Amino acid sequence: MGWIFRALEILVVSFLMPFLLETGVAIADTLPSDGTVITLSPKVVRSLGIGSRLYGPRHGNHRIHVSGVVALIDDRVSYVTVRSLGASNQIFGRVRKVYADTGDHVVKDQLLATLFSPDYIEAQQEYLQSIKLASVSGTDLASRDLSQKIIQAAVMKLVNLGVARPEIDRLRKTGLISRYLKMRSDLDGYVLVKNAISGQTVYSGDRLFTIGNMDWIRVNGHVYQQDMKGMKVGDRMEVRIPESNKRMWGHITYISPTADPKTRTVLVRGIFKNHHLLLRPGMYVSVHLLVPYKGRHLWVPREAVFLEQGQDVLFVERSKGTYQMVPVKAGHSESGLVPVRDHLPSTVRIVDQNGFWLKAQFEKVTSHSADDP
């Protein structure tokens, strides 16, 4: 539909502008220093709906749009692994029962599986023997210190196997040895990977579960090297959820010191509070990075900037009804506004409504000037 409105606009300009030239437009001479100036009568300005406002310099941002991938934060991932007191790759025991499956939500210290392990039974026996030995050892200071060190060594062996402190206290109080080692979650989260099956033989170092906490999530974006100018840690980062109008705001927390030689991009990372699990690991999202421009610039609406013979131009209202076309250098659009750089006053009145009428008028003036001998 846009081309239809553009065609109608051209037709209206073609038919109306000759009439306006005869009734309300005064063409001033071309000023060598200031450029071409035209003057419209108040009646013509009102009929065409040409409007202008005062604009002054202010701070703004350069918006960079890249694709991003959602990932887990390293310190919010836990691996439930079979631990052994001996050499690696040796048989540790077998899985007796599994209590969690892939996708389940678990809480910290929740039971995930039980294992039968001779090492676990032997470690419990050593702990009870160390307590018994301490009770019959001598009362001198050296004997007491040695007994405590033996007990501490036995406790550390149980801890290294993954035994929780409450279970060690229960063993000390009751003296009853448990046959099955309980594998528990280290944090609140979701079971991302489950490798444990009831009855299977496990070896030391086997990873039985992977638990991921998604309350906070990481978003990785890859920015082209030419867009890295001025970007720094702390700049705002916006994530837009695919197929949704929902947005999430955060800040850049990491910028890679190296670039990918194949893609010529730099890794930029942000961390976001993951409300209602809107972001899931592996999801592709739209990332917008807001990099502040250095200094203050004149920001004008996008519709106030026109392209004239390959050059961005503005229409400045020098006085009531008197307009001048000024070439400028326009930056990237941000929320409908564009930063412009040129030798303009700090505060200037710029046409921001129906400027296409002025553009058509200036084009006619330029064509008439070119036709004159």
CATH number for the domain that contains residue 265? 2.40.30.170
Please work out, in degrees rounded to the nearest 5, the angle formed at the alpha carbon of residue 313 by the alpha carbons of 312 and 318: 165
pLDDT for 308-333, tens place per residue? 888 888 899 988 889 998 888 887 76
| Residue 33 pLDDT exceeds 50 | no
224, 355, 231: which is closest to 290 by C-alpha? 231
Asked, for residue 115, whether it belongs to a domain, the answer is yes
- Identity of residue 224: Y
- The full length of the chain comes to 373
Q: Are residues 120 and 166 in the same domain?
A: yes
Count CB atoms within 10 A of the CB of residue 291.
20
Question: Kind of pairing, strands 216-224 and 265-273?
Answer: antiparallel
Owning domain of residue 126: 83-205
Cα–Cα distances (Å) from 358 to 12, 54, 196, 229, 352, in that order, read 13, 18, 74, 36, 11
Count CB atoms within 10 A of the CB of residue 55.
22
| Residue 18 pLDDT exceeds 60 | no
Which residue did the predictor score with more confidence, 1 or 357?
357
**pLDDT band of 275, cuts 50, 70, 90:** confident
Q: pTM of the prediction?
A: 0.67
Asked, for residue 78, whether it belongs to a domain, the answer is no
- Residue 141 in tokens: 């200071």
The sign of the torsion formed by the CA atoms of 175, 181, 187, 189 equals negative
239 has which bridge partners? Answer: 248, 287
Asked, for residue 307, whether it belongs to a domain, the answer is yes
Q: How many domains are contained in the chain?
A: 3
pLDDT computed for residue 373 by the predictor: 53
17: CB partners within 8 A, 6+ apart: 357, 360, 361, 364
Q: Are residues 240 and 304 in the same domain?
A: no
- Average pLDDT rounded to a whole number, residues 59-86: 88
